[in-house]
């Protein structure tokens, strides 16, 4: 343990290249400098960090990736941690447990380190009784689910969530049920029971036939669509067959290749008479909010929302955690333990 707190250096996973894959370039720096803290930022001791596709996908875009992340970058955004130094005027107190998102760049937040920085707007206090590891999973996945559903539906609406067993879909099913929606989702055979246990009213096994035909046969048109997968644009091009007029097809994820990007551009910009779709497509970019974090935290405390874990890793196993994430087969969240057994001892110094 260091003799003073916070120390002048920290352990941090860093990469300077993504050639061959980000996970193959991650190096654990045992003496990285602590992040520079601006007056409007909180310095946080990170206890747990959850991974998301945004932690590697933008950085791995050929040519463009080098402009999206710092030259020497530390991935990771979603964290649970402990306030070390509150921002000027912040209501947070030294030693307070918080969760949310760290960093100043959206593609390399710095969460895979022992300390990070965050503004008040991207943090919330962890409610009593909520596990730190559960809270670490919320920021990107939980808030994406919250923002793509809660402001866009009303009680009694039928919602289709494509991809119910991934990080965002797991939160989406639960949140949609809380606000009173009828939920239909997709997953593979092995995850059907998981999606049902989270509250899904109908689960479409995409390995057993056409998803569109299953949706058309489901007994009613949908009011809202959230696509957490983004691998099959035919779901959009045919969504007028299973949604109500005025429904929005909200694209959360997608392949970062030219064909997919051209397809989504055509879908969003061209009117239907010129080859565009017959329903409105929107893409979603998350702006973390303390309001959504606080509400999700309350739901977790009340037992209405729970995190689902695919796997948990030690801090030293970051490359292995990314390898698992990049399989695309994770059932729930992938989390790394940074300091769950040591952070309280550190504060007692």
**DSSP letter for each residue of 129-168:** T--HHHHHTIIIIIHHHHHHHGGG--TT-EEEEE-SSSHH
| Domain edges within the chain | 9-137+307-347, 141-283
| Domain 141-283 part of CATH 3.30.530.80 | no
pLDDT of residue 268: 64
Contacts of 32 (CB under 8 A, 6+ apart): 9, 10, 11, 12, 14, 74, 113
pLDDT of residue 105: 77
Task: Please give the model's pTM, rounded to 2 decimal places.
Answer: 0.91
Pairing of strands 27-33, 9-14: antiparallel
pLDDT of residue 1: 44
pLDDT of residue 132: 97
With a cut of 90, say whether residue 238 has pLDDT above it. yes
Start-to-end Cα distance in the chain: 9
Tens digit of each residue's pLDDT (9 = 90 or more) over 120-144: 999 999 999 999 999 999 999 999 9
Q: Is 281 helix (H, G, I), strand (E, B) or coil?
A: strand
Q: What is the arithmetic mean of pLDDT over 62-69?
A: 70
Angle ∠(43,144,135) on CA atoms, nearest 5: 45
Q: What is the arithmetic mean of pLDDT over 168-182?
A: 97
Do 310 and 331 meet the contact criterion of CB atoms below 8 Å apart? yes
Tens digit of each residue's pLDDT (9 = 90 or more) over 269-291: 666 655 668 899 998 888 878 99
Which single residue is written with the structure tokens 């001892």?
345
CATH number of the 9-137+307-347 domain: 3.90.180.10
Q: What is the arithmetic mean of pLDDT over 63-69?
A: 69
With a cut of 90, say whether residue 329 has pLDDT above it. no
pLDDT of residue 2: 47
Residue 182 banded pLDDT, cuts 50, 70, 90: very high
Q: Is 198 helix (H, G, I), strand (E, B) or coil?
A: coil
Mean pLDDT over the full length of the chain? 91
Percent of the chain with pLDDT strictly greater than 90: 75
Q: What is the arithmetic mean of pLDDT over 108-112?
A: 93
């Amino acid at each position: 343990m260091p003799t003073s707190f916070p120390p002048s250096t920290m352990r941090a996973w860093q990469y300077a290249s993504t050639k061959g894959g980000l996970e193959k370039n991650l190096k654990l720096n045992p003496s990285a400098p602590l992040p520079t803290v601006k007056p409007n930022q909180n310095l946080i001791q990170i206890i747990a960090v959850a991974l998301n596709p945004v932690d590697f996908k933008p950085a791995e875009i050929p040519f463009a990736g080098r402009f999206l992340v710092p030259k020497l970058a530390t991935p990771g955004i979603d964290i649970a941690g402990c306030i070390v130094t509150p921002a000027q005027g912040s209501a947070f107190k030294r030693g307070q447990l918080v969760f949310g998102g760290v960093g100043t760049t959206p593609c390399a937040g710095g969460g895979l380190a022992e300390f990070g920085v965050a503004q008040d707007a991207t943090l919330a206090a962890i409610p009593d009784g909520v596990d730190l590891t559960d809270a670490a999973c919320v920021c990107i996945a939980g808030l994406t689910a919250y923002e793509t559903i809660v402001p866009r539906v009303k009680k009694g609406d039928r919602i289709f969530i494509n991809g119910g067993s991934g990080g965002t879909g797991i939160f989406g099913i639960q949140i949609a049920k809380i606000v009173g929606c009828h939920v239909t989702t997709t997953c593979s055979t092995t995850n059907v029971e998981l999606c049902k246990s989270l509250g899904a009213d109908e689960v479409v096994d995409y390995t057993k036939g056409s998803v569109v035909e299953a949706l058309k046969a489901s007994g009613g048109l949908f009011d809202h669509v959230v696509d957490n997968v983004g691998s099959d644009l035919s779901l959009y091009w045919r969504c007028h067959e299973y949604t109500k007029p005025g429904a929005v097809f909200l694209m959360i994820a997608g392949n970062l290749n030219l064909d997919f990007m051209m397809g989504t551009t055509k879908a969003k910009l061209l009117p239907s008479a010129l080859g565009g779709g017959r329903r409105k497509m929107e893409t979603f970019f998350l702006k973390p909010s303390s309001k959504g974090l606080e509400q999700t935290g309350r739901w977790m405390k009340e037992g209405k929302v729970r995190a689902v874990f695919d796997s948990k890793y030690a801090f030293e196993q970051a490359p292995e955690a990314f390898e698992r994430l990049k399989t695309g087969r994770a059932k729930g969240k992938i989390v790394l333990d940074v300091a769950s057994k040591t952070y309280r001892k550190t504060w007692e110094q």
